[in-house]
Amino acid sequence: MLSLRPSLPLFVFALLLGGPWGLAAQTPIGGEAPGYTARMLSATPMDAAIRQRHWAPGLNQGYVPQGLSFVRGTLFVGAYRSTEAQTNRGPAKIFAVDPRNGAVIGGFDLPASIGHADGLATTPDGGLLFLADNGRVLYAFDLPRSLQAGNAVAAGTPRTLEKDPALGSNFLSFDGRLLWFGRYSRDDGAARLIAADPAVIFNGSDRPFRAAEAARSLPLPFHAQGATFDAAGNLWVSASNGTMGRLYRLDPQTGAVLAEHTAMAGLEDLARDSNGLLWAVGEAGSQRWNSWKTFFPLLFSFDPAALK
């Protein structure tokens, strides 16, 4: 059964992440620059809204950034290792990143069963990390203990999703009450945006989660890669492939598209920080996808009000 209480005192959690928390003035691009290419960053339709830029963690070790979450002043990035376009799974880990300068300040390895680490979400107290892996499995980990151990510590039995075209675990977000997840869909129109109580998902059952257990099921844009909620409660969904990118603002009650913005190719997961900015991560220009026209393997924050 899932426990929503953190396993370690918050001050211990802070020490593990290297506090203090809070954003500070940034250099133009923080983090470790890629050493495998001399390419220049691509201009993107989001440039006017971007506020901070950091190189995605693990680029030089062959990691491809995917999932993203923000809690207690720290960015968490899920990534898998692959340098070949034909290889879409590999050893996966979680990086803890300081949003002030892009420095990697911690992290932990994920189980061998996880090969993509598509979507991340955290409880507001930082006690739990939820993870969606490419396919049909959702996971819950004890975040402080995982950081301390350097390896993922389970906080609930992983839950497989029923083989249903409406269900999939390619991205994940938590609104404080419900977990939202969905499947990357190119054009079949079957995938749905699902919201469910994490206590229902991680109830210890070995039976696959069924669509009927969802608290909400909404239409989902094609090519969905990530999701988060802004400070006003609006649901944002990122969508992309190797040649295009989109940002959608959706009505979380109906799934209706309230706004649509052009973004960069390779846009992956989204998160919201404590200052109201949204964060995103891009895989275009990672070693696996360095042949794409777009080169933007960054962690970056942006002001949704400044999007064109």
pLDDT at position 27:
52
- Read off the pLDDT of residues 247-263 as tens digits, 9 standing for 90 and up: 999 999 999 999 999 99
The domain segmentation of the chain, as residue ranges, is 50-306
Q: Which residues contact 252 (CB under 8 A, 6 or more apart)?
A: 175, 216, 218, 229, 233, 234, 235
How big is the CA angle at 99 (ends 39 and 231), to the nearest 5 degrees?
115
Q: How many CA atoms lie within 13 A of 36 on its CB side?
A: 16
Q: What pLDDT shows up at residue 135?
A: 77
pLDDT at 306: 95
What pLDDT score was predicted for residue 128? 98
pLDDT at 134: 78
Q: Which of 289, 277, 229 is nearest to 253 (CA)?
A: 229
Q: Which of 242, 255, 279, 245 is nearest to 76 (CA)?
A: 279
Low-confidence stretches of the chain (pLDDT < 50) are 9-26
- In CATH terms, 50-306 corresponds, of 1.20.1070.10, 2.120.10.30, 3.40.50.12160, 2.115.10.20, to 2.120.10.30
Measured CA angle at 75 (ends 23, 223), to 5 deg: 125
What was the pLDDT predicted at 153? 98
pLDDT of residue 12: 46
What's the pLDDT at 3?
Answer: 57
